[in-house]
Structures are given as structure tokens and as C-alpha cells.
């Protein structure tokens, strides 16, 4: 079974631009979560989607948004990029009944210049 | 997927010894506590979880202990191997209202000495 895939793996943007990251969950997994990982703040929850609905949201500004499609694939968008948005963005998928066992992708490394 | 932490606690053990990684949590309402492992260049990987009404759970070479009195969680790894080198995160899950949100700790870097 293929794992969680994320594209692109690396991205360089400049301040003020926007970016869209993509995540394909493991087949059969309908819950998709996004996390931001930085050296200073560690792993922080962004949001979680299930059946195309955002069910949970972390403490991030409205510049961070996401969506989920009917095939469970998910995208997250960051608008008006700031230097502090430089981070590793991780996507994780899980079965609804096994929410503790989230399967993470390798992440997208975003650098904002 | 490296988890570079400038202030990451570290633990260094000899190969073959047992490792104990500790974690303090804050939310008494968490219904599950979970351990993840993150190897360099990869996303975190689930190791084991424990429900809040339990105090011990064993897996393959790993044991998780939960002390709710002092809000403390530990992961014990038996007979540590080179492949155990990674950053280990504890996480809490609040099960209220169907929440799937995991709150991760800062992580501990485990280094295995040959």
C-alpha cells in the first residue's frame, strides 16, 4: 500500500506570495491532518479534514487555509507569506477508527525569502 | 522531514541498553497519549498509544507508562538498536467532540552509541 505523498517536496517563495501544498492520503484513509514543524515551535497542528469538511483547526491565522476533495486528497494554502512561515509542512492521514495512528508523509519544506 | 530542534533534549545510550524517554503533559482531558518517532528526512511514525484509563501498555520492545498523578508519560525501549536513533515525540489527543487533533511535545533526540 502506498504511503502518504506530498508535493512538492521543496519550495522557495518570497514574502507576500502565496503557496499551495498538496497531499494524497493512504488509500482508504478519509481523515487528513496538516502540521507545521519548525525548530522553535516544534510540531503544531494546523487543521484536520474528514469527508471534505474541516473538523478541527489549530491556532493559526486566517492566511492558512485548506480543503479536502471527494477523493480525500487535500491541499493547504498559505497566502501573503511571511518569513516566519518557513517550515516543514507535514500531512498525515488516518482511519477514523484509529485516529491515534496517523501516517505522515515526508513533508514539504517551504522556505520564504 | 528532519526535526531539527535547537533546544531539543538529548539522550545518548549504548547499543543493547534500555532507553527511557520522558514526557510531561498538560491536558488532563486528553483521552489518549501517543508516542511517535521521527527519523532524519522522514515524517513522524506511530509507535504506541495508551488510553488515559491505563497506566501501562507494552508493544514490541517498547513499553509506555502513564502517571496521571504527576502528568508524566514515559517510553521504554528495550535492547536499543542503531535503528532506534531518532527524535521521539509524545503527543496528547483530546477526544472531546470527535477531535482528532494531536498536541505534540518538543521531542527528545535519542542517539545510540556503538
CA distance B32 to chain A (A): 8
Of A4, A55, A103, the CB nearest to B100: A55
* pLDDT (average), residues A8-27: 98
pLDDT higher than 90, residue B2: no
Chains A–B, number of C-beta pairs less than 8 Å apart: 74
Q: Do B5 and A45 touch (CB under 8 A)?
A: no
Q: What is the pLDDT of residue A82?
A: 98
Of B3, B45, B101, the CB nearest to A48: B101
Which has the closest alpha carbon to A62: A43, A77, A50?
Answer: A77
Q: Whole-angstrom Cα distance, residue B37 to residue B46?
A: 7
Helix, strand or coil for residue A96?
A: helix
CB atoms within 10 A of CB B24: 10
Q: What is the pLDDT of residue B52?
A: 92
pLDDT higher than 90, residue A98: no
pLDDT tens profile A58-79? 999 999 999 999 999 999 999 9
Strand B56-58 to B62-67 pairing:
antiparallel
Of B42, B98, B102, the CB nearest to A106: B42
Q: Whole-angstrom Cα distance, residue A33 to residue A108?
A: 14
Strand A87-94 to B72-77 pairing:
unpaired
**Long-range pairs of A107-110 with CB within 8 A, sequence gap ≥ 24:** A107/A6, A107/A9, A107/A37, A107/B1, A107/B43, A108/A6, A108/A7, A108/A8, A108/A9, A108/A10, A108/A11, A108/A21, A109/A9, A109/A10, A109/A11, A110/A11, A110/A12, A110/A13, A110/A19, A110/A21, A110/A78, A110/A85, A110/A86
Q: What is the pLDDT of residue A40?
A: 86
pLDDT tens profile B72-82? 999 999 999 99
pLDDT higher than 70, residue B6: no
pLDDT higher than 60, residue B1: no
Q: What is the pLDDT of residue A104?
A: 97
Q: What is the pLDDT of residue B99?
A: 62
Residues 6+ apart with CB under 8 A from A51: A30, A68
What is each CA distance from A112 to A11, A20, A77, A93, B6, in whole angstroms? Answer: 8, 13, 14, 26, 20
pLDDT tens profile B29-88? 888 999 999 999 999 999 999 999 999 999 999 999 999 999 999 999 999 999 999 999
Q: What is the pLDDT of residue B27?
A: 80
Q: Which residue of A has its CA nearest to B92?
A: A100
pLDDT tens profile B81-98? 999 999 999 999 876 656
Q: Do A104 and B44 touch (CB under 8 A)?
A: yes
Q: Which residue of A has its CA nearest to B90?
A: A43
Categorize the per-residue pLDDT at B100 as very low, low, confident or very high, splitting at 50, 70 and 90.
confident
- Integer Rg of chain A from CA: 13
* pLDDT (average), residues A75-97: 96
DSSP label at B96?
G
Amino acid at each position: 500500500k502506498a504511503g502518504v505523498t506530498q508535493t512538492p517536496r521543496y519550495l522557495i517563495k518570497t514574502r507576500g506570495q502565496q503557496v499551495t501544498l498538496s497531499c494524497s492520503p493512504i488509500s482508504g484513509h478519509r481523515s487528513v491532518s496538516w502540521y507545521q514543524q519548525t525548530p522553535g515551535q516544534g510540531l503544531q497542528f494546523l487543521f484536520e479534514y474528514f469527508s471534505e469538511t474541516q473538523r478541527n483547526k489549530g491556532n493559526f491565522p486566517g492566511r492558512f487555509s485548506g480543503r479536502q476533495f471527494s477523493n480525500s486528497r487535500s491541499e493547504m494554502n498559505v497566502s501573503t507569506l511571511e518569513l516566519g512561515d518557513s517550515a516543514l509542512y507535514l500531512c498525515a492521514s488516518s482511519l477514523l477508527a484509529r485516529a491515534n495512528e496517523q501516517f505522515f508523509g515526508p513533508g514539504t519544506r517551504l522556505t520564504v525569502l | 522531514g528532519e526535526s531539527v530542534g535547537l533546544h531539543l533534549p538529548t539522550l545518548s545510550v549504548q547499543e543493547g541498553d534500555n532507553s527511557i524517554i520522558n514526557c510531561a503533559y498538560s491536558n488532563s482531558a486528553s483521552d489518549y497519549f501517543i508516542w511517535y518517532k521521527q527519523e532524519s528526512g522522514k515524517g513522524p511514525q506511530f509507535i504506541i498509544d495508551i488510553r488515559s484509563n491505563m497506566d501501562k501498555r507494552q508493544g514490541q520492545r517498547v513499553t509506555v507508562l502513564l502517571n496521571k498523578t504527576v502528568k508524566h508519560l514515559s517510553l521504554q525501549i528495550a535492547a536499543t538498536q542503531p535503528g532506534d536513533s531518532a527524535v521521539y515525540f509524545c503527543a496528547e489527543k483530546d477526544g472531546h467532540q470527535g477531535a482528532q487533533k494531536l498536541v505534540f511535545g518538543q521531542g527528545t533526540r535519542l542517539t545510540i552509541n556503538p
